[in-house]
Structure formats: C-alpha cells, structure tokens
Amino acid sequence: MPKFIEEYLSVNGIEECTLQFPVNEKPLLIYVHGGPGQSMMPFAGWLNNKIDFATVVYYDQRGTGRTQLRSKSTAETITFEQLLDDLKETIRILKEKYHKSKVILLGHSWGSILATQYALRYPEEVACYIGVGQVIDHRRSEKVGYDHLIESYASQFDEKDRGMLKKLGDYPSDCTYDNAYEMITTMRDLQIKYKLAASAADYLKIAFHSSTFRLKDLKAMRQIMQNIHLLEYMLDYSVEEEKDYEVPVFYLLGKDDWQVARVVAEEYFDTINAPKKEIFLIDHAGHIPNVDQPDQFNKVLEKIVSEYQ
C-alpha cells in the first residue's frame, strides 16, 4: 500500500490540508475535489491504493474538510477567485517540493470547473488537464439529466416522487440563487433513488477501507454549509464559448453519468482545440468512475500519465 504524508501548507492565510502519495521520479498529479465542499481525505487511501505511476496530491479547498477544521473560513472569504488563487499557491509550493516544472491537473465535478479555469488561465504550469465528471454548462447538464429522469422513470414514480417533482417545477429554469440548494438537493434525491446520481453512501462504503479515514472526517463532512453559496457561481457556469486550450485535454467520463450529464461533456469536447485531446468512457460507471470502476479508471489514468513521465 502506498505510503502517504499528511501536511498542512500555509496558503493565502489559511492552513490547507494535503495528503501526498509520493512516488519517486513520477509525474506530479493534483486532484481537485468536487462538492463544493466534498473532501476526498477520507477516501484518498482507497482511491490511491493501486496508483504507483504518479505522485498524487489530494487537498481540501478553503472551507472544506480538514482545512476547514483547522482554519475556520467564513462564507464571505470562500469565493471562486479565492479558490483559484489558493490552487495557484498550492501548485507553486508542491512544484517546488517535488522539483517539477509542471503538474497534471485532475478536476472532478465542481473541481472540474476550478481546474478547467486554472488550465485556461495558467497553461504554462499545467502538463495536461484531466476532467472527470466534467461540468460544461450547469443548467444545460441539469436539463439533460432531468429530461432523462422523466423519460426513463416517470412510469415508476410514486406519490412522494410526484410531490418532489412538483417542487422542482420547470427545472432547472425555476432554479434561482435563492432556492438553488433546495432545488438541486431535491433533484439529486430523485436521481439517487433511480441510480442516476452518486450518493453519500457510495463514498462512505469505501471510507472504512481507506487508510486515510479519520473519525474527525465525519465531523468535517457535516460542516459544509459555508460552501453552499458557491452554488450561485456554479448555477450559471458555462465554458462552452471557450474552445481553445494550450494544454492537452483528457476526459474520463462514467458512461452512465446523468448527475453531470456525460453527453453534454462529449458534445463540448468535440468542439475544442488542444495540442492533444482524447476522451475515455468508463463502462458501468456514473459520476464517480474511480469509485464505481477503479481498475478501469486507473488503467486509463496510467495511460495518460505515462505520456508525461
């Protein structure tokens, strides 16, 4: 089992928690977690158990997980631009520590927004970008996911489901900054029931088999409300007009991902220009393909990473 280092980095006035899995002479890969506010610390040991082809670093963003337990950030200090600045400083510190000129940047879900924008703004620091559960246009993705839910499962809806559907109204058009948390949570609950989205149980089932899980993580996972306002940024996020990348771009998508609709990411991917681009679909996997199909996922990840040895 790969050994890891838990280290707090001084990043823009906070103590940021990182879990580092060093592998000598291998590329440096930074994992940018989703949510907003979904720490990967409890699960990193399980996810990284068979990865010996890269030095992987997981970090808790400002306001998230072990970073939040240590630094107690307030909502007004947690903005998208601040998180981007934090990522920049994190990368600077880790490049210096591991003697690398560039990093491989992997963004999952919410983290794919952060990491995509980083790759677009600072291509000189990025060897390649890897998108997992890739967000392209949030409202469009939600609409595709909603339509699929109705078309595929309406005949199975019970009275409770129909009540939840009534709450959603004309989703996602009726989703506003004021009701975003309630509306998206209702949508996810319906999707989870019909196995169209990832649930907390999907993560928790691996936590107790992970070398990095700590009891304090259970407390941290309940303290996410300071991140909820980031949904305002995500709600109207779209990268569809940005077609030109100066770094290689790879997407690893669960073929059954309707939480962040895989088909939207595929359509956008066809339109982008990049020095190199390749898309991989993981069979029998949804929004978290590295949990659903870890062997398939790691095989593809190794193929990508080996190009930047």
For 258-270, write each residue's pLDDT tens digit. Answer: 999 999 999 999 9
Residues 214 and 125 in one domain: yes
Strands 5-11 and 14-21: antiparallel
pLDDT band, very low/low/confident/very high, at 40 (cuts 50, 70, 90): very high
Over residues 281-306, the mean pLDDT reads 97
Residues 272 and 173 in one domain: no
What predicted TM-score, i.e. pTM, was given to this entire model? 0.96
Q: Say how many C-beta atoms besides its own lie within 10 A of residue 212's C-beta.
A: 20
Over residues 23-51, the mean pLDDT reads 95
Residues 154 and 224 in one domain: no
For 88-129, write each residue's pLDDT tens digit. Answer: 999 999 999 999 999 999 999 999 999 999 999 999 999 999
Looking at residue 2, its pLDDT comes to: 60
Looking at residue 202, its pLDDT comes to: 79
Residues 207 and 184 in one domain: no
Q: Check the CA dihedral 256-260-263-267 and report its sign.
A: negative
Residues 59 and 170 in one domain: no
The last residue of one of the domains, among 152, 170, 197, is 197
For 136-182, write each residue's pLDDT tens digit. Answer: 999 999 999 999 999 999 999 999 999 999 999 999 999 999 999 99
Looking at residue 219, its pLDDT comes to: 85
Residue 223: which CATH number?
3.40.50.1820
Residues 110 and 252 in one domain: yes
Residues 133 and 164 in one domain: no
The last residue of one of the domains, among 176, 197, 218, is 197
The residue range of the domain holding 152 is 138-197
Looking at residue 15, its pLDDT comes to: 98
How many Å apart are CA 255 and CA 168, to the nearest integer? 26
The last residue of one of the domains, among 148, 164, 197, is 197
Residues 283 and 190 in one domain: no
Residues 162 and 185 in one domain: yes
Strands laid side by side in the 103-108 sheet:
5-11, 14-21, 55-59, 28-32, 103-108, 126-132, 249-254, 277-282
CA distances from 249 to 47, 182, 295 (A): 22, 34, 21
How many Å apart are CA 51 and CA 252, to the nearest integer? 16
Structure tokens at 56: 């992987």
For 60-79, write each residue's pLDDT tens digit. Answer: 999 999 999 999 999 999 99
What total number of domains does the chain contain? 2
Residues 247 and 155 in one domain: no
Residues 20 and 169 in one domain: no
Q: Is the pLDDT of residue 1 over 60?
A: no
Q: By the 8 A CB rule, do 14 and 7 touch? A: no
User: Number of C-alpha atoms within 13 angstroms, CB side, residue 285?
Assistant: 21
Residues 33 and 147 in one domain: no
For 179-231, write each residue's pLDDT tens digit. Answer: 999 999 999 999 999 999 988 887 888 988 999 999 899 888 877 889 999 99
pLDDT > 70 in the chain, percent: 99
The SS3 of residue 132 is: strand
* Amino acid in position 222: R
The angle formed by the CA atoms of residues 172, 81 and 177, to the nearest 5 degrees, is 25
Report residue 296: phi and psi, to 5°: -60, -45
pLDDT band, very low/low/confident/very high, at 246 (cuts 50, 70, 90): very high
The SS3 of residue 181 is: helix
For 270-279, write each residue's pLDDT tens digit. Answer: 999 999 999 9
